[in-house]
Chain A
Amino acid sequence: MPISLASAPDLLAVVREFLETDVVEDPSISDDKRFQIRVAINLLATVERELRLGPAANTAEEDRLTALVGAEGSLEEKNRRLSGAIRDGAVASDDPQLLDHLYRTLVDALRINNPKWLGG
């Protein structure tokens, strides 16, 4: 793609800021709508974080999955393999390496979806 202004993260940010400053405070908006706009603002912020943090999180997840269930296939296929292995007992559900992987994966997901959940 040729250079287009502005960048995708900037577009998202400016739409979010517009909603935050000009729309959500509009007194003519019903409480119901205002709530939905707040949710929409949060979703835009989530996408902004995903653009920033998603690629590294996916790479790290895939590396850990490779160590657990092998390198073959896509990220989803590896997750499918791991899920199957837990279900049929090939990987113990209290395996420390597994639990460490799940923990890191969920932390990375929460950094995108809701960083406040992690506290501090």
Chain B
Amino acid sequence: MSEPEHVKAVKAKLRDTVARLLGPPGDLLELRRLTAGATKATWAFTAQIGDTQQALILQTSIVSSRPEGTAAKSDDAKTAPAKLPTLAGEDDAAMMLVAGKAGVPVPQVRAVLTADCGLGEGCIMDFVPGETIARRILREPRFAALHENFAQQCGEILARIHAMDQASLSFLMPLDGARQIALYRDVYDSYDLPVPALEVAFRWAEDHLPAVARSTVVHGDFRMGNLICGEQRIHAVLDWELACVGDPMQDLGWLCVKTWRFGGVDAVGGIGHREDLFAAYERASGIAVNPAHVRFWEGWGCVRWAIICLIKGLAHRSDPAQRTVEAFAIGRRMEEPLFDFLEFLREEKAAKVCGYR
């Protein structure tokens, strides 16, 4: 079977890049595109470097990031859809380097791509063995031991992420709750698509935003699917492009959003309990977790995912490369989190009536 042209092109450039940045000869013994990741192209490959064959990952951005990491609101917002700020290239790699130093399990970054590589923005990392596909992690019996302490590990890892040094990550956008809600509302407004359920959701978020006690580095997309899992432990935290500086509790809430349970029953990625997540976070960080505060971010997480579905579903309007079955299918998923949000409101109301909050 002959290789498609775009694979051949990547192969030639990648070989030269490996030889130059990691060491000669750089011959590729295997190159395959991985399915995971809708905003990034991820390739797994094995390269001959000196006497050794090394398993590596090439990650390149598909979505171009905003210049200078500026806020989404701009004068052209009426004609072009507003975008979420995303990290790419060097900044994404810098996140992983700093995270690694803070004790967060991340792939070792081996080289950051430069313009003359011709591969776009991105980096080359060590291949981390394990599983990211949630369906398998939830259902295959070999992950039983992981299920036992998944929530606890997430709590410990998040505590380390939230202790990462902000000073060395000056490119991170400050995005407290109010700014985040305003940013996502701007994105929604820029599509000029009336969705009454989103109007209710934004109103709720603005009315219920908790006062913030702390502002830390936030991963922004810490969830099942973005974690490489072994049978016992989480081996690596991926997908740092939505990182920002803000309320750390949003990472705990996002992790519990129903979409990221992938059909599992339990709140934390479908396989762990909130209580274990909170207890481990408190032990590791020394900071108390207010469950009602996290719960806000879980509700907001539904809204946020709905907006991301909207962005992906309509991305083809401004970017022909997004005219894919996958992107269109994500657009059709917008009602899932909106339905979950209404269920969330019902649960909150019932909880209030029962007087526990």
Residues from chain A with a CB closer than 8 A to the CB of B1 are 28
Say whether A93 faces chain B, with CB atoms less than 8 Å apart: yes
B203 touches A43 (CB 8 A): no
A82 touches B326 (CB 8 A): no
Residues from chain B with a CB closer than 8 A to the CB of A58 are none
A42 touches B329 (CB 8 A): yes
Residues from chain B with a CB closer than 8 A to the CB of A110 are 335-336, 339
CA of A30 to CA of B43 in the docked complex: distance in angstroms? 13
A43 touches B199 (CB 8 A): no
Size bracket of the A interface: 35 or more
Contact of A30 among B33, B335, B345 (CB under 8 A): B33
A113 touches B332 (CB 8 A): yes
A80 touches B194 (CB 8 A): yes
Main secondary structure of the interface of A (DSSP, over half): helix
Q: Size of chain B's interface in residues, with CB distance under 8 A?
A: 28
CA of A17 to CA of B1 in the docked complex: distance in angstroms? 26
Q: Looking across the interface, which residue of chain B has its beta carbon closest to that of A116?
A: B263
Given contacts A30-B33, A39-B325, A93-B204, contact A106 B195 (CB under 8 A): no
Say whether B324 faces chain A, with CB atoms less than 8 Å apart: yes
A-B contact count (CB 8 A): 86
A87 touches B342 (CB 8 A): no
Show 28 A/B contacts (Cβ-Cβ < 8 Å), sorted by A. A30-B32, A31-B32, A31-B34, A32-B32, A35-B35, A36-B324, A36-B326, A39-B325, A40-B325, A43-B325, A43-B329, A46-B332, A76-B194, A79-B196, A83-B195, A86-B200, A93-B204, A98-B196, A99-B200, A99-B345, A105-B197, A106-B197, A106-B338, A110-B336, A110-B339, A113-B336, A114-B335, A117-B339
Residues of chain B touching chain A, judged by Cβ–Cβ distance below 8 Å, are: 1, 32-35, 194-200, 203-204, 263, 324-326, 328-329, 332-333, 335-336, 338-339, 342, 345
Q: Given known contacts A28-B1, A43-B328, what 17 new A-B pairs fall within 8 Å (CB)?
A: A31-B35, A36-B325, A76-B194, A80-B194, A82-B194, A83-B195, A83-B198, A84-B194, A86-B196, A99-B345, A102-B197, A103-B339, A105-B197, A106-B197, A113-B332, A117-B336, A118-B339
